Amino acid sequence: MLWEIHLTRNEIDRLRLAAEHAIIRWKRSDTLYRYENCCERKWKCEDGKIQQLFAPVFCSGSFVKRLWESTGITCLPDPTLRGAGVDIMEPGDFLALHRDAQIHPELKLQRALSVVINLSDHEGGEFWWDNRLYRPQIGSGLAFVPEIEHGVSKVEGDRPRVTASCFYYSTPLQKHVITEGRTAAEFVNAEPDFTRTRSKGIQYVNSEGTGS
């Protein structure tokens, strides 16, 4: 299940400010972690100061209420902001098809939704799900359940793909369920060939949800 999420102008400005700080640090290679393997290539900024910039958006009552209304899923933001941050993907970077972690490793809560907001004008780097490539407009994004297989196609051109993400949780799990859930992402396709797959009928979906 996947839903499009729209932000207010004030929320977009706050997230853009966090992204600008992350980009400055990315250019200095400061406080960012680089993921580079067969499954993913990206920079991740989970710096506490940057998290403080976007927490008022992702953790606000009005934003969470909109998530409930849009998805029909009752959930709450993660007070630890574990894994939340700004992702920067350079040209050539990608994220292979995978399923998100289902369980918070510290709080033992069930993840209900993952939220990713687009903050850049870039080429490629589309969100991949269900044989479709999604291209949210700047300041909008996607909410989805952790069970779905998804990825990000290769970033092209000469501009980075910049997104902000946060995760939302529901009720605590029983002990036997905890042992069965995932506390880390599970990759299902380590070497995606998005170019080859596009030639087999991929449907592009714009921010209005219609094919393009």
pLDDT higher than 50, residue 135 = yes
Largest distance between two CA atoms of the chain: 48
pLDDT higher than 70, residue 181 = no
Q: What is the pLDDT of residue 118?
A: 93
Q: Phi and psi dihedrals of 2, rounded to 5?
A: -145, 140
Q: What is the pLDDT of residue 17?
A: 87
- Written as six digits, the tokens of 45 are 């900024």
Q: What is the pTM assigned to this prediction?
A: 0.80
pLDDT higher than 90, residue 168 = yes
pLDDT tens digit sequence for 91-121? 999 988 888 888 888 888 889 999 999 999 8
Q: What is the pLDDT of residue 18?
A: 86
Q: What is the pLDDT of residue 90?
A: 92
pLDDT higher than 50, residue 49 = yes
- What order do you get walking across the sheet with 150-152 strand by strand? 186-187, 95-99, 150-152, 127-129, 132-134, 203-205
pLDDT higher than 90, residue 89 = yes
- Count of positions (residues) in the chain: 212
Return the higher-pLDDT residue of 152 and 130.
152
Reported confidence tier of residue 173, pLDDT bands at 50, 70, 90? low
For 50-67, what is the mean pLDDT? Answer: 89
Reported confidence tier of residue 185, pLDDT bands at 50, 70, 90? low
Q: What is the pLDDT of residue 183?
A: 52
Return the higher-pLDDT residue of 23 and 180.
23
pLDDT higher than 50, residue 131 = yes
Q: What is the pLDDT of residue 31?
A: 66
- Written as six digits, the tokens of 208 are 């209005």
pLDDT tens digit sequence for 6-25? 999 999 998 998 888 888 87
**Cα–Cα dist 96/41, whole Å:** 9
pLDDT higher than 50, residue 59 = yes
Q: Phi and psi dihedrals of 42, rounded to 5?
A: -170, 165
